Amino acid sequence: ETGVTQTPRHLVMGMTNKKSLKCEQHLGHNAMYWYKQSAKKPLELMFVYNFKEQTENNSVPSRFSPECPNSSHLFLHLHTLQPEDSALYLCASSQVSVAGGLHEQFFGPGTRLTVL
């Protein structure tokens, strides 16, 4: 496997289900990201992990719970979602430095989530 992989690619779930999205990066990066892309809206950054520590949470509802067990893996645990949470969820990774700035991010193919 190369680059950034995501599973599953498609997911349909009911509002009472619990599911998890998985992301794995094979690039040796130290930062990973979850993004949400709803229809006809710009990409929204949800969570950022630098060196396995969560450094950003952009007011995401608690029904989305991220987990980063190591620098190569990132999960997004989902529970009691709403139909408006249906979207494309994209994972990305990058190599960040202490100087900050915009580091080139490499994206996974995304998980298309539908909440019924």
Partner 1 sequence: KNEVEQSPQNLTAQEGEFITINCSYSVGISALHWLQQHPGGGIVSLFMLSSGKKKHGRLIATINIQEKHSSLHITASHPRDSAVYICAVRKTSYDKVIFGPGTSLSVIP
Q: Cα separation of 56 and 4, whole Å?
A: 20
Residues in contact with partner 1, shown as a per-residue x/- string from 65 to 84 under the rule CB under 8 A:
--------------------
Measured from the Cβ of residue 58, the count of other Cβ atoms closer than 10 Å reads 12
Which of 25, 30, 93, 105 touches partner 1 by CB under 8 A? 105
- Point out which span in 22-30, 63-71, 78-86, 108-116 binds partner 1 (CB under 8 A): 108-116
Which of 90, 93, 113, 115 touches partner 1 by CB under 8 A? 90
With binding defined as CB under 8 A, does residue 25 bind partner 1? no
What's 74's DSSP letter? E
Per-residue three-class SS string for 13-38? ECCCCEEEEEEEECCCCCEEEEEEEC
Query: Taking a C-beta distance cutoff of 8 angstroms, is the pair 23, 35 a contact?
Result: no
With binding defined as CB under 8 A, does residue 42 bind partner 1? yes
Interface residue list for partner 1 (CB under 8 A): 37, 41-45, 48, 55-56, 58, 88, 90, 92, 100-110, 112
